Each structure stands twice: as C-alpha cells, then as structure tokens.
C-alpha cells in the first residue's frame, strides 16, 4: 500500500467532515455575501480535488523505517509526552533532568554521563530562563509552595 494513497484517503474523509461541519455552521446574522461558511467550503473542495489526484498518481514510498528506527522514534515521542505531563507538576528542574538524561542517552551518551550532563544542565538553565530572562518556568512540587 502506498503511503500517499493512505494519506489521500484519510485527508479526503477529513475534508468531507470539514465541509459538512462548515455547511452546518449556525450563523444567526450576516451582513456580507460570503460569510464564514464559504472559505472553508472552498478549501475543502480544493483539498478533496488534490486528494483524488494524489490517490490516482501517488509517489513511490521512499520511507522504509526499520524496527530499530520505530523503537527510537516512538521512545522519543513517549519521552516528550512524559515531559509534557511532568513539566508543570514535577517542575522544570526534575522533569528536565529526567528527560534530558534519557534524550542524551538516546543519542549515544553513556547513562551515567548523560545523567550528570542533565543534572548540571537543568539548574543552570532554570536560573538563566526563570531568573535572568524572567520567563514563566514551573517550579514544581519539590522546590516551590
């Protein structure tokens, strides 16, 4: 199965949904001829045409990920989701140390060295970002409140 066909099919369904949603917008009043429906409708029409074209003339698959690559990408993704989940609750320093360690390790560093790097990186960055640049960086449970 060619990826382009899968993509075209999925996007075709999506553009149908978009068109249906746009058509059923509840517009109580409108002072102009075009209104809020027309533009999304036109776009979904163009999208549908493109999808049909892409379905008929797809490109060859150029991406052949190995199992190892999948594991790497999915683990990277998992760590980012974890980072997002921990960021506010655990705070910047703890979550960055943890996530930084794993990322550094994924890119070939030895685990201990990766941990030491992340351990140094996160408090220094916290100081730079939160105190020096006055950014909104979450303190987290351990250090704040």
Partner 1 sequence: MDVFHYLALGFSVALTPLNLGLVLAGCFIGTLIGSLPGIGPINGVAILLPLAYSVGLPPESALILLAGVYYGAEYGGRISSILLNVPGDAGAIMTTLDGYPMAKRGEGGRALALSAVSSFFGSMGALLLMVIFAPLLSKLAIQFGPSEYVWLMIFAFTCLATMVGKRPIKTIVGVVIGLLLATVGIDSGTGILRFTMGIPNLFDGVDFLVVVIGMFAISEVLILLESWARNDLKLTPVGKSFVSFADLMAVKWVIFRSTISGFLIGVLPGTGASIASAVAYGTEKRFAEGKEEHFGQGDIRGLAAPEAANNASAAGSMVPMLTLGIPGSGTTAILLGALLMFNITPGPLLFEQQPNIAWGLIASMFIGNIALLVMNLPLIGLFVRLLSIKQSYLVPVIVMLTFVGIYSIHGDTFDLFFMIVLGVFAFILRKLGFSLAPVILGLVLGKVLEENLRRALSISGGDWFILFDGAITYVLAIATVLAIVLPKVMKLRKK
* Footprint (CB under 8 A) of partner 1, residues 67-126: 69, 72-73, 76-77, 80-81, 83-85, 87-88, 92, 96, 99-100, 103-109, 114, 117-118, 121-122, 125
Residue with tokens 């052949």: 64
Could you give phi then psi for residue 75, rounded to 5 degrees?
-70, -40
Residue with tokens 């949904």: 17
User: 13-35 burial, b if ≥16 CB within 10 A, otherwise e?
Assistant: eebeebbeebeeeeeeeeeeeee
Cβ-based nearer residue to partner 1, 42 or 142: 42
Cβ-based nearer residue to partner 1, 31 or 145: 31
Contact pattern for partner 1 over residues 31 through 70, marking x by CB under 8 A? xxxxxx-xxx--xx-xx--xx-xx--x-x--xx-x---x-
DSSP 15: H
Binding to partner 1 in span 124-143, by CB under 8 A? 125, 129, 133-138
Q: CA-based angle 40:42:48, to the nearest 5?
A: 100
The distance of closest approach from Cβ of residue 32 to partner 1 in the complex, given in angstroms and rounded to an integer, is 4
Binding to partner 1 in span 4-33, by CB under 8 A? 4, 7, 11, 18, 21-22, 25-33
The distance of closest approach from Cβ of residue 35 to partner 1 in the complex, given in angstroms and rounded to an integer, is 7
- Of the candidates 106, 125, 104, 126, the residue with the CA atom closest to the CA atom of residue 115: 104
Cβ-based nearer residue to partner 1, 39 or 143: 39
């Amino acid at each position: 199965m060619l990826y382009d066909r899968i993509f075209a099919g999925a996007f075709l369904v999506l553009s149908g949904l978009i068109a249906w949603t746009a058509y059923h917008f509840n517009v109580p009043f409108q002072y102009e001829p075009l209104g809020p429906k027309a533009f999304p409708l036109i776009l979904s029409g163009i999208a549908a045409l493109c999808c049909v074209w892409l379905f008929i003339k797809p490109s060859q698959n150029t991406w052949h990920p190995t199992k190892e690559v999948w594991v790497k990408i999915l683990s990277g993704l998992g760590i980012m989701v974890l980072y997002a989940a921990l960021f506010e609750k655990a705070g910047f320093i703890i979550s960055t140390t943890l996530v930084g360690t794993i990322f550094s390790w994924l890119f070939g560093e030895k685990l201990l060295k990766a941990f030491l790097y992340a351990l140094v990186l996160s408090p220094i960055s916290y100081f730079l970002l939160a105190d020096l640049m006055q950014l909104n960086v979450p303190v987290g449970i351990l250090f704040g409140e």
